[in-house]
Amino acid sequence: MTDGTPGKVYLVGSGPGDPDLLTVKAKRLLEEADVVLHDKLPGPEIIGMIPEEKREDVGKRAGGEWTPQEYTNARLVELAEDGNTVVRLKGGDPTVFGRGGEELAHLADNGIPVEIVPGITSAIAGPEAAGIPVTHRDYTSSVSFVTGHEDPTKDESAVDWDALAATGGTLVVLMGVGKLPQYTEALREAGMDPDTPVALIERATWPDQQVATGTLDTIVSVRDEAGIEPPAITVIGEVAGEHERVVAFLEGY
Whether 1 is catalytic: no
215/201 Cα distance (integer angstroms): 14
Helices (H), 33-68: 44-48
Using alpha carbons, select from 129, 203, 124 the residue that is nearest to residue 170: 124
φ, ψ of residue 113 to 5 degrees: the values are -60, 135
Asked about 175 being catalytic, the answer comes back as: yes
**Choosing from 39, 90, 93, 192, which is the catalytic residue?**
39
Annotated active-site residue in 40, 54, 57, 60: 60
d(CA 194, CA 165): 12
Compute the Cα dihedral for 191, 193, 194, 200 and give only its sign: negative
User: DSSP characters for 1-12?
Assistant: ---S----EEEE
Look up 3 and say whether it is catalytic: no
Catalytic positions, written as ranges: 39, 60, 175
